[in-house]
Amino acid sequence: MPASELTIGFDADDTLWHNEVYFERVHERYRELLAHYHEAATVDRTLFATEMRNLPLYGYGAKGFMLSAIETAVELTNGKISAEEIRQLIVLGHGMLAHPVELLDGVAETLAELAGTYRLLVITKGDLHHQERKLARSGIAAHFRQVEIVSEKDEGTYAALWRRHGIDARRFLMVGNSLKSDIVPVLALGGAGVHVPYHLTWAAERVEKVPEGGANFFQIKTLRELPAVVRAWAAGRA
Helix, strand, or coil (residue 77):
coil
**Which segments of the chain does DSSP mark as H helices, in order?**
20-33, 40-58, 62-76, 83-98, 107-115, 128-138, 155-165, 184-188, 226-237
186 & 222 share domain: yes
Please report, for the domain that includes residue 85, its CATH number: 1.10.150.240
Phi, psi dihedrals of residue 169, rounded to the nearest 5° = -55, -35
Per-residue pLDDT of the chain in tens (238 residues, 90 and over written 9): 444 589 999 999 999 999 999 999 999 999 999 999 999 999 999 999 999 999 999 999 999 999 999 999 999 999 999 999 999 999 999 999 998 999 999 999 999 999 999 999 999 998 999 999 999 999 999 999 999 999 999 999 999 999 999 999 999 999 999 999 999 999 999 999 999 999 888 887 888 777 776 789 999 999 999 999 999 999 887 6
Number of domains in the chain: 2
**Beta partners for residue 125, in sequence order:** 150
**34 and 135 fall within a common domain:** no
CATH of the domain at 175: 3.40.50.1000
Which residues have C-beta within 8 Å of that of residue 147, sequence separation ≥ 6? 121, 122, 132, 135, 141
Same structural domain for residues 68 and 181? no
- Reported pTM: 0.92
The DSSP bridge partners found for residue 217 are 193
Q: Is residue 1 part of a domain?
A: no
